[in-house]
Amino acid sequence: MADDDGMRVGEGLLLISVCMGQVWVALTISGRLEKLEVEGAHKLTGNIYKGVVERLAPAIDAAFVKLEEGVYGFLQAGDLAPNSIGVETVSRLARIQIDSLRPGQSILVQVVHEPRGQKCPRLTTRISLRGRFTGLIAQGADHSSVSHTITNVRVRERLLRIVEKYRPLDCGVHVFPEAAERNENEIANDIRELVKIWHDIVFRYKSTSAPSLLYRSPSLIERSLFSMAHKVSEIIIDSPEHYERLLAVAMQHLPYVASRIKLYDSPTPLFDAYGVSKQVETALSKVVKLPSGGYIVIETTEALTSVDVNTGHMLVGDPREIALHVNMEAAEELARQLRIRNISGLIIVDFVDMPSSHSWVRLQERLQRELSLDEVETRIMTLSPTGVVELTRQRHGLSLEELLMEPCEHCGNGKVPSALTIALKLWRELLLESSLRPADVDAVVCAHPKVIAPLLQAGEEELERLESIAQRKIWLFASRSLRRDQFEIAFGEDALKPYLEAEPKEGEQFDLRAGDELYPSEAPKFALFKNKLVRLPEGIGVETPRISFKLERVGRWFAEATWMPSVEPVAKNEIDALKLKTEGGEAR
pTM value is 0.84
Q: What pLDDT score does 545 carry?
A: 66
- For residues 542 and 298, give the distance between their C-alpha atoms in angstroms, rounded to a whole number: 41
Q: How many CA atoms lie within 13 A of 163 on its CB side?
A: 30
Q: CA 99 from chain center: how many Å? A: 34
Query: How distant, in Å, are the alpha carbons of 308, 380, 396, 405, 452 from that of 508?
Result: 58, 65, 51, 37, 22
Query: How distant, in Å, are the alpha carbons of 201, 294, 314, 316 from that of 322?
Result: 58, 10, 7, 8
Q: What pLDDT score does 583 carry?
A: 47
Query: How distant, in Å, are the alpha carbons of 127, 202, 227, 562 from that of 123?
Result: 10, 18, 24, 42
Sorted by sequence, the CB contacts under 8 Å of residue 431 that are 6+ apart come out as: 267, 268, 269, 466, 469, 470
Q: Which residues of the chain have pLDDT under 70?
A: 1-10, 89-94, 117, 314-316, 412, 521-522, 539-545, 565-588
Q: What pLDDT score does 91 carry?
A: 57
Sign of the CA dihedral running 160, 162, 165, 167:
negative
Q: What pLDDT score does 396 carry?
A: 82
Burial class (CB in 10 A: 0-12, 13-18, 19+), 215: middle
Of 533, 540, 525, nearest in space to 559 by CA = 533
Of 307, 326, 391, 321, nearest in space to 356 by CA = 321
Residues 230-246: b if buried by 16+ CB within 10 A, e if exposed: bbbeebbbbbeebbeeb
User: Strand, coil or helix: what is 438?
Assistant: coil
Q: What pLDDT score does 574 carry?
A: 54
CB 126 within 8 A of CB 139: yes
- For residues 409 and 248, give the distance between their C-alpha atoms in angstroms, rounded to a whole number: 45
DSSP string of 139-155, one letter each residue: SS--SEEE-TT---HHH
5-22 tens-digit pLDDT: 444 455 789 999 999 888
- For residues 429 and 194, give the distance between their C-alpha atoms in angstroms, rounded to a whole number: 43
CB 353 within 8 A of CB 360: no
CB 277 within 8 A of CB 426: no
Q: What pLDDT score does 582 carry?
A: 46
Q: What pLDDT score does 412 carry?
A: 66
Burial class (CB in 10 A: 0-12, 13-18, 19+), 429: middle
Please write down the HEC assignment for all residues of 169-224. Answer: CCCEEEECHHHHHCCHHHHHHHHHHHHHHHHHHHHHHHHCCCCEEEECCCCHHHHH
Q: What pLDDT score does 306 carry?
A: 96
- For residues 213 and 70, give the distance between their C-alpha atoms in angstroms, rounded to a whole number: 13
Q: CA 290 from chain center: how many Å? A: 27
Cis peptide before 417 (omega within 30 of 0): no
Q: What pLDDT score does 6 carry?
A: 45
With left for phi above 0 and alpha for psi between -120 and 50, is residue 345 left, alpha or beta? Answer: left
